[in-house]
């Protein structure tokens, strides 16, 4: 658990991961005003988690979905402000280049389309000059083929795709929390992701360099494309660091009262009535 999440304080992490239904009484926690600006950030990889971490922010990777759902279940009653999907994304709109930002207007997936919190998203748009405000698609698998990217953009209007935002939208719907998504483009719509890069993503939060090397040795023709992808990743990472520093504590929500962030409207589907499965 410690390697998957970082909290503003250990007492709060214990509180949000505790199962109050088992105890049958209210949980003992620090006074709510100490944590009233806490934001949960959901990311994909370990390097994204390090960038996202900061005062008032709890970070989970996509490999800790069970812990995320448990925390969200108790988050609202303890003053959690909401959940943000933060990190890199694949570009679907043809004009988006590595380092460009997308603030989600909604999250699209097969089961539902859910609008992000208008106040929170508006604050992010004001802070990040030149960002795109558009839908983001959530996918459980990487989207690497330019033809598939073009098709997704054409059929949904989404500007980007990632592997975490739909999880955030489901958790928020299930537990009545505000949510948004803030993503930087790492691979543009016309870029094919080489197999070696996909293997490097692995099944954990850390890049698997050995898997990349093995695949590159087996298929050396990938080298030039892999170098291009690495340069794109460097640009995106630098932008993540810049914008995260710009947003400051609590992902820029310090000066907003809790009442300024109304709970997101829940879509009427089965997912809105159930907790997210791990």
Domain that holds residue 26: 5-193+233-273
Q: What is the pTM of this model?
A: 0.75
Is 139 inside a domain boundary? yes
- Can you tell me the distance from the alpha carbon of 62 to that of 83, in angstroms, rounded to the nearest whole number? 13
Token digits of residue 41: 């950030």
Extended beta strands in 92-155, E state: 101-108, 113-115, 132-138
Q: pLDDT by residue (tens digit) across 128-146? A: 999 999 999 999 888 989 9
Q: pLDDT by residue (tens digit) across 177-203? A: 889 999 999 999 998 877 767 665 655
Is 14 inside a domain boundary? yes
Is 220 inside a domain boundary? no
- Can you tell me the distance from the alpha carbon of 261 to that of 255, in angstroms, rounded to the nearest whole number? 11
Of all residues in the chain, the percent with pLDDT exceeding 70 is: 68
Residues whose CB falls within 8 Å of the CB of residue 219, separated by 6 or more in sequence, listed in order: 195, 196
Question: What's residue 67's pLDDT?
Answer: 72
The mean predicted confidence, pLDDT, of the chain is: 76
Question: What's residue 52's pLDDT?
Answer: 94
Residues whose CB falls within 8 Å of the CB of residue 163, separated by 6 or more in sequence, listed in order: 44, 62, 138, 139, 140, 141, 142
Q: Is 25 exposed, middle or buried (0-12, 13-18, 19+ CB in 10 A)?
A: exposed
Closest by alpha carbon to 266, among 115, 80, 158? 115
Find the helix packing angle between 118-127 and 223-247, rounded to 10°.
Answer: 100
- Is the pLDDT at 35 greater than 50? The verdict is no
Token digits of residue 192: 């094919």
Domain count, the chain: 1
User: Distance between alpha carbon 6 and the CA centroid of its chain, in Å?
Assistant: 15
Q: pLDDT by residue (tens digit) across 229-257? A: 889 999 999 999 999 999 988 887 665 44
Mean pLDDT to the nearest integer, 88-97:
96
Q: What is the CATH number of the domain that holds 112?
A: 3.40.50.1580
Mean pLDDT to the nearest integer, 74-96:
85
186-211 as b/e: b if 16+ CB within 10 A: bbbbebbbbbbbebbbeeebebeeeb
Is 268 inside a domain boundary? yes
CB 75, CB 32: distance < 8 Å: no
Is 217 inside a domain boundary? no
Is 205 inside a domain boundary? no
Is 214 inside a domain boundary? no
- Is the pLDDT at 1 greater than 60? The verdict is no
Identify the band that residue 81 occupies on the pLDDT scale cut at 50, 70 and 90: confident
Is 216 inside a domain boundary? no
Find the helix packing angle between 65-75 and 10-17, rounded to 10°.
Answer: 90
- Can you tell me the distance from the alpha carbon of 179 to that of 172, in angstroms, rounded to the nearest whole number? 6
């Amino acid at each position: 658990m410690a390697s998957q999440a970082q909290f503003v304080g250990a007492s709060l992490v214990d509180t949000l991961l505790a199962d109050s239904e088992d105890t049958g009484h209210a949980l003992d926690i620090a006074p709510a005003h100490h944590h009233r600006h806490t934001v949960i950030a959901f990311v994909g990889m370990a390097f994204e988690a390090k960038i996202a971490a900061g005062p008032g922010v709890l970070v989970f990777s996509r490999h800790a979905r069970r812990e995320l759902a448990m925390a969200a279940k108790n988050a609202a009653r303890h003053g959690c402000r909401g959940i943000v999907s933060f990190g890199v994304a694949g570009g679907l709109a043809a004009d988006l280049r590595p380092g460009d930002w997308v603030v989600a207007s909604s999250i699209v997936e097969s089961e539902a389309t859910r609008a992000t919190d208008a106040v929170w998203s508006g604050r992010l748009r004001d802070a990040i000059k030149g960002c795109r405000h558009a839908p983001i698609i959530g996918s459980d698998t990487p989207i690497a083929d330019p033809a598939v990217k073009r098709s997704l953009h054409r059929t949904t209007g989404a500007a980007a795709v990632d592997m975490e935002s739909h999880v955030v939208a489901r958790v928020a719907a299930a537990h009545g929390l505000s949510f948004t998504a803030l993503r930087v483009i790492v691979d543009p719509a016309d870029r094919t992701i080489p197999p070696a890069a996909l293997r490097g993503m692995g099944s954990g939060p850390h890049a698997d360099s050995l898997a990349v090397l093995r695949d590159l040795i087996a298929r050396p023709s990938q080298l030039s494309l892999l170098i291009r992808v690495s340069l794109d990743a460097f640009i995106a990472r630098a932008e993540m660091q810049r914008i995260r520093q710009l947003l400051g504590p609590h992902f820029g929500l310090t000066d907003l009262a809790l009442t300024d962030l109304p709970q997101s409207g829940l879509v009427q589907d089965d997912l809105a009535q159930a907790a997210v499965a791990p």
